[in-house]
């Protein structure tokens, strides 16, 4: 076989492999979203400048905005076990952040500043009043930074298992930029994303990291997160941005600056949580903290009664 034929053969094989991977990607997306678990008859839409934002509104009373963890698999479903009880005391808003859940997922780089603008605009345009916030995991930095810029929109802030200050301050490095470039590739990048967010990978995430008791993990939870991970135009964009630290932001100055009431719930089962809470209090001694004995990273899903007791103590 001459050189020309070898090149032609490689091109044919490469094209065939790419076509096969593209077909697999399409099949995964269709099957992952076929159950419509996240479909909600009470769904509302906020037409934001960068994309439509899915949210819900229930109950009456002072507004309370629930912000899910900042991952490509997360959505307002995270709060489903808390909403019925909270709506008896608050007007409860849940939001699917841009690039997550049922909101639009444009192909772009997502940053902390982008989400600060989203939360600020959402409170101004939709809620229209000073609002209490409950935020989970990596999303805690968003209302914190937003409050430091415009504290007239925010009242009390409650965070569940926020990232450590060191994790928040991470910045993209050379390897991160290369990884994001690979993830942004339309076929190979999507295939890598689908492997990372496959149903088996998500089940292992729930049983190994999210829940303390693996027997508490329900199949519907895994299916809901799996569906959330594959809805929309470019669900991998948030995944790539978060994995490469574009969504991170140093929050120490904001912690020092704001004088709003801040409460943090940390799960004892998470490594270094006591030290993490002390670190937050070092920069803002007024912060009140509680160590939860039950659950792990997502106590709002695993043991909502414990989270509700803490919310009742701080916000009711």
Q: What is the pLDDT of residues 108-137, one digit of tens each?
A: 999 999 999 999 999 999 999 999 999 999
Check pLDDT > 80 for residue 58. Answer: yes
Between 36 and 83, the higher pLDDT residue = 83
Predicted confidence at residue 4, as pLDDT, reads 39
DSSP secondary structure string for all residues of 217-266: --HHHHHHHHHHTT-SS-THHHHHHHHTTTT----HHHHHH--S-EEEEE
Predicted confidence at residue 205, as pLDDT, reads 97
Q: What is the pLDDT of residues 157-173, one digit of tens each?
A: 999 999 999 999 999 88
Predicted confidence at residue 284, as pLDDT, reads 97
Check pLDDT > 50 for residue 12. Answer: no
14: pLDDT confidence band, cut at 50, 70 and 90? very low
Predicted confidence at residue 18, as pLDDT, reads 66
Collapsing DSSP to helix, strand or coil, 131 comes out as strand
Q: What is the pLDDT of residues 44-56, one digit of tens each?
A: 999 999 999 999 9
Percentage of the chain beyond pLDDT 70 is: 94
Check pLDDT > 90 for residue 257. Answer: yes
- Strand ranges of the sheet holding 51-59, from the earlier edge strand across to the other edge: 44-48, 51-59, 90-95, 62-67, 131-136, 154-160, 262-267, 288-292
CA-CA distance, 111 to 277, in Å (whole number)? 25
13: pLDDT confidence band, cut at 50, 70 and 90? very low
Collapsing DSSP to helix, strand or coil, 23 comes out as helix
35: pLDDT confidence band, cut at 50, 70 and 90? confident
Predicted confidence at residue 15, as pLDDT, reads 47
Predicted confidence at residue 173, as pLDDT, reads 85
Check pLDDT > 50 for residue 255. Answer: yes
Q: What is the mean pLDDT of the chain?
A: 92
Check pLDDT > 70 for residue 193. Answer: yes
Predicted confidence at residue 273, as pLDDT, reads 97
Q: What is the pLDDT of residues 15-34, one digit of tens each?
A: 455 677 876 888 788 888 88
Q: Contact at 8 Å (CB) between 158 and 134?
A: yes
For 304, phi then psi, to 5°, come to -60, -30
CA-CA distance, 197 to 277, in Å (whole number)? 30
286: pLDDT confidence band, cut at 50, 70 and 90? very high
Check pLDDT > 80 for residue 271. Answer: yes
Q: Is 212 left (phi over 0), alpha (psi -120 to 50) or beta?
A: alpha
Predicted confidence at residue 11, as pLDDT, reads 34
Rounded to an integer, the average pLDDT of 233-253 is: 95
């Amino acid at each position: 076989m001459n050189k020309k034929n070898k090149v032609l053969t490689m091109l044919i094989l490469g094209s065939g492999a790419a076509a096969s991977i593209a077909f697999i990607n399409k099949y995964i997306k269709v099957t992952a979203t076929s159950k419509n678990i996240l479909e909600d008859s009470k769904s509302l839409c906020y037409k934001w400048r960068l994309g439509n934002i899915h949210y819900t509104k229930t109950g009456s009373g002072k507004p309370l905005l629930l912000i899910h963890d900042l991952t490509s698999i997360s959505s307002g479903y995270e709060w489903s076990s808390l909403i019925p009880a909270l709506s008896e005391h608050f007007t409860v808003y849940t939001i699917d952040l841009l690039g997550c859940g049922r909101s639009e997922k444009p192909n772009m780089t997502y940053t902390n500043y982008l989400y600060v603008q989203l939360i600020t605009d959402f409170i101004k345009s939709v809620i229209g009043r000073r609002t209490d916030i409950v935020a989970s995991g990596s999303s805690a930095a968003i209302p914190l930074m937003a409050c430091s810029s415009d504290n007239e929109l925010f009242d009390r802030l409650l965070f569940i298992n926020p990232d450590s200050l060191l994790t928040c301050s991470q910045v993209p490095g050379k390897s991160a930029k290369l990884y994001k470039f690979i993830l942004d590739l339309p076929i190979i990048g999507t295939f890598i994303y689908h492997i990372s967010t496959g149903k088996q990978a998500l089940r292992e995430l729930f049983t190994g990291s999210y829940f303390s008791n693996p027997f508490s993990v329900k199949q519907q939870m895994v299916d809901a997160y799996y569906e959330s991970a594959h809805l929309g135009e470019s669900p991998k964009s948030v995944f790539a941005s978060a994995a490469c630290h574009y969504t991170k932001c140093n929050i120490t100055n904001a912690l020092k600056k704001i004088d709003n009431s801040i409460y943090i719930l940390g799960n004892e089962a998470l490594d270094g949580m006591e030290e993490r809470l002390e670190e937050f209090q070092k920069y803002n001694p007024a912060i009140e903290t509680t160590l939860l004995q039950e659950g792990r990273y997502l106590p709002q899903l695993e043991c909502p009664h414990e989270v509700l007791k803490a919310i009742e103590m701080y916000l009711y």
